[in-house]
Amino acid sequence: MAVSAVGTEILGIADRLSVGIALASALAFNFALLRSFVFPGQSAPIGPQLAATVVTSLSFRVLEYGIFLGLNAVAGFNYLIATACAVVISFGGKFFVYRNLVFRGAAHGDEPPPATRNEGDPRRTARSMPPGTR
């Protein structure tokens, strides 16, 4: 909201455009945080991963709205409770999809990040290694 408010109120950008800029900024920031901190060690090209993130994000927004409508309009839940439930349900699914499909790369065994390798670690000698790994 702050980005769209600054864009509209201070910079004089049309409200519809400033909201679009805010949403695009939030998506880009979210992608950067996911790639860098939540699922570090990514080796996949950024372009396809960004495209998959956009598709995933849009798909889950539609799903969240569907869950909201089902809980609110069909089951009669209060709109705030329905919204909270939809977001919580979506969070679990979104994390699973991001982890297993979008950001699976190094975080899922393709190649461990350099910080997790034991190469050159003097504490990891042949005697301390499990049998069969020497």
- Sorted by where each begins, the domain ranges of the chain are 1-38, 43-109
CB atoms within 10 A of CB 115: 7
Among candidate residues 84, 82, 80, 63, the one with its CA nearest the CA of residue 72: 82
Average pLDDT score over residue span 123-133: 58
Contact 72, 79 (CB under 8 A): yes
Q: Which long-range contacts (CB under 8 A, 24 or more apart) does 50-53 make?
A: 52/101, 52/102, 53/27, 53/98, 53/102
Task: Please give the model's pTM, rounded to 2 decimal places.
Answer: 0.70
pLDDT digits (tens, 9 = 90+) for 55-104: 999 999 999 999 999 999 999 999 999 999 999 999 999 999 999 999 98
pLDDT at 104: 87
pLDDT band of residue 122 (cuts 50, 70, 90) is low
pLDDT at 112: 47
Residue 86's Cβ-count burial label (10 Å; 0-12, 13-18, 19+) is buried
pLDDT band of residue 53 (cuts 50, 70, 90) is very high
Contact 99, 39 (CB under 8 A): yes
Q: How far is 112 from 74, CA to CA, in rounded Å? A: 47
